Each structure stands twice: as structure tokens, then as C-alpha cells.
Structure 1
Amino acid sequence: MDDTTSAVTVIDRREGPYGEVVLRRRLVEGTERYEIIENGCFLMDTSDGRSERLLVQAPLRALGGAGLSVLIGGLGVGFSLAEAAAEPRWGAITVVEREPSVIDWHRGGPLDRFSAHALDDPRVTVIGGDLVSHLREADITYDALCLDIDNGPDWTVTDSNDSLYSPAGLADCRARLAPGGVLAVWSAQPSERFEEALRTAGFEQVQTIAVPVARGVPDVVHLGVRPA
């Protein structure tokens, strides 16, 4: 049985602040998989998670010391949060998620096990709101920004997210990072245009790390460092 013929069950369907959000369960050859769909656009599922974990692992490798702070933009199915909570070097973990339903699905809901019950970790703070607004308006800096709110800089979920990858949006990211801090952006495909945008915005050590997938182009994590 392949994905096109597997059994699909809608677990929850809600009207959120940005449109319809759906949580589906798919049974593929006896394996249970959860999927998040927003306004008919597939966002992510629980089938793998390697690239979502890399989104948090890669900045940590570049940072020294402990007691570090990280902002995770987009809770999703929880792989990035679970990875952060499993690492004691992160002293403070902030998650910004704009969809209340997604937060609910992790608070004792079907996705709780994928985030490893990390919402109960005292280091974790969940902010319900728009990531772009938080980056623009917050009066705080982080050692790492790990952002995964779209299918990539070239494939946004909503038009308003475009500004995150613009010169102004990347300037906001830079301002929210402590000197030497790391920006990590998840994408479903590599983007040379975005790499150049990071350099133009003043980020150093720009690189793209690929994670091969079963079909199609690899998932990637784009990285850039704010100069110390």
C-alpha cells in the first residue's frame, strides 16, 4: 500500500485565525502517521523528522557554552521542540505558534508524544501569535532562531509570511539574535536566492545542509551567523 491508497482519518478540523487547519491520521502499511494541513496545503507529517531535528541540532553545534536560549518558530508536529528539550545546554526554549489548534494538539492531544511532552518542561514558554510580528516587536535576543513556518523561503503558506524572508524581515531576525547567534531556516528545497539574501542581510558562515528524502529534492536547513 502506498500513500495514495492508505487509509486517512480526519482527527480534528478547525477554523483558525488564518483559515482552516486540519489534523489527519494516515495508516500506511500498518504505521500510523499524523499530518497537518492548512487551507488545503500540506505542511508536515510525523513520518520522518530528521530535518526538523537538524533545525535545532545545527545551531547548537555552532554555539559554545550552556544556558543558551532558542526561539523555535512554528510548533508543527513537535520534532524540533522535542530535540531542543532533550538537550540540557538550552537554558530557555521559546516556541511561537500562531495556530491555537496546533498548541492544543500538543497539550495532551494526539501530537503530545511527538513533542515528548515538552510543553511541560519548565524551560519551555509557548507564545500564541504571529512569528513575523514577534521578531519585529519583541525586546529580547536569542542565541538561536530556528524557523519552520513555511515549506521554505520560496514556498510560503500565507502571503504575509513573505516579509520574513525580505531584507526587512532578515534584519529583524538579525536584531533578535545575540552577537554570534545562529539563524536556521527549514525549507523543503534549497534556495540559492535565499542564501544570497542572508549574506546581503549581514549574516556570515552561510551554508545549506541537505537531508535526503525518499522522493524528490532533499529537505534543507539554511544557516547564517550574526557577526560577534
Structure 2
Amino acid sequence: MTTIPVTVDRREGPYGEVVLRRRSTAQDDDVYEIIANGTFLMDTSDGRSERLLVDAAMAALPEAARDSGPAVLIGGLGVGFSLAHAAADPRWRRIAVAEREEAVIDWHRAGPLAAISGRALGDERTVILHTDLLAYLRTTPDTYDALCLDIDNGPDWTVTEDNESLYSAQGLAVCKDRLAPGGILAVWSARPSADFEESLRNAGFSGVRTEEIPVARGVPDAVHLAVRPA
């Protein structure tokens, strides 16, 4: 049995409302939830699919890239599972995280989510970028070996309408431009999307595939993977 969620913090930002809630489980564990504009995004109850997002990207990289110390950009700080998992792997040379919500960054730096991400935030390889992901991708000259994107409930279920452009032909072209040859694009989704797989192929990516993660109820979570051709 779980308790009714309690609001820990509520903020109005440039992209709408973001809320951090806490609920207790039958095991007396606190579970934190992030809600954006009334839509549930993620919570701290599991984290398997967020960790798979990072592991699948690393595994898909060419051996030479893995051995030379790849750089990864994580799109969306969320509850911190992806960042913490990346920082636990010494093979990543640089770990950048793009997060547009100041509130989410605050919850990690000086709030309850620091229990998940605190060690990773203190890692010298970690850089937190307070910026909109797509705006950053369009303007930065930096390239990465892997882009691990988890800013929505998936390409078919975006948090805000402007996020839809990330999954468009133009948005995917920008993602490809920010990847080194042979680099990996990994996109988290609350359900597999055959349409998004087709969009990736149409955008010029190769090796398009989807890894599914079973959940307690409903359709599985998914990580969509694609390669920028060398």
C-alpha cells in the first residue's frame, strides 16, 4: 500500500509547472515523483530503463570509441538515475547533462534527489548544462559519442508541444550532426514506437533497433537505438 503523494515543491517556469512529490510505500521507503504540466514523468521506484539507456549506448559504440573514453550527453536530468549510472562507469570520459528546468537542478543540488545524484554531481567528468536540449544541440559546436535522451514519455507522448520538434526530421538531423561518426543515439520511451524507428531510418541513421524493458503493468518501456554511419 502506498500513501497519497505529498507535494514537496512546486514551481512555475518558462515551460509550465513542475512538481516534486513524495509518497511512502508499504516498505516505508520514500518514492519521489516528477510531474510536468500535470503529466507524470518519472519516479525513483525503479530506474532499470534509465540505466539501460546508458548501458545500451555504451555497448553499441565501436570498440575503439569505448577504449578511447567516449563522451556522452544526457538529455534530461530527471530523477538522476541515468547520470548516476553513467558516472559509475569509468569508461565515460565526459558526462554532460542538459536540463532546462531550474527546479529539477535545485532538487538534485540541494534537495532530496541528491541522494541519487550527489556523488555523480561531484564527479569531475560531470557538467550540468542549464539549457533547453534542442536549443543546445542547435548551437553547440561540441560533438559526442553518445546522446542519451529522456526528456519526455517518448517520441509519441511529449511533455510540451515544442518538444515534438526534437523527434522531427529536422530535430533528428541536428542530433546526427552532434554525434561523432559511429556515435549512438539512444532515446527512452514509455512504449515502443515503430513510427519513430522509421523516422530514424529516414533521417539517415543505421542499425536502428529497440530494446524493451518489461514493467509491472501495461506495455514495456523502450530504448530506441540508432547509429550515425561512420
TM over 0.5: yes
The gaps in structure 2 that reach 5 residues or longer are none
Cα RMSD for the two superposed structures: 0.9
Tell me the matched-pair count. 225
The residue that corresponds to 1:25 in the other structure is 22
Instruction: Tell me by how many angstroms 1:66 deviates.
Output: 3.3
Assess if the C-alpha contact under 8 Å between 2:109 and 2:118 holds in 1: no
> Is the 1:105–1:112 contact (alpha carbons within 8 Å) kept by the matching residues of 2?
yes
Per the alignment, residue 87 of structure 1 pairs with 89
Which residue of the partner structure matches residue 135 of structure 2?
Answer: 133
Runs of at least 4 residues off by over 6 Å? none
Q: TM-score, normalised by structure 2?
A: 0.96
Does structure 1 residue 200 correspond to structure 2 residue 198? no
Q: 2:38 aligns with which of 30, 37, 40?
A: 40
1:138 Cα deviation after fit: 1.1
Q: Return the offset for 1:100.
A: 0.4
Between the aligned residues of both structures, percent identity stands at: 66
| Structure 1 unaligned blocks of 5 or more | none
Task: Give 1:145-156 correspondences, 5 Å limit.
Answer: 145-156=147-158
TM superposition shift of 1:9: 1.2
Amino acid in structure 2 at the alignment position of 1:12: D
Counterpart amino acid of residue 23 in structure 2: R
What TM-score do the two structures reach when normalised by structure 1? Answer: 0.97
SS in structure 2 at match of 1:94: strand
Greater helix content: 2
- 1:182 corresponding residue in structure 2: 184
3-state SS of paired residue (1:113):
helix
2:50 and 2:146 map into 1 onto residues whose CA distance is 15
- Aligned match for 2:120, one of 118, 121, 125: 118
* 1:62 counterpart residue number: 60
Comparing 110-119 and 132-141, the one that deviates more:
110-119
3-state SS of 2:166 partner: helix
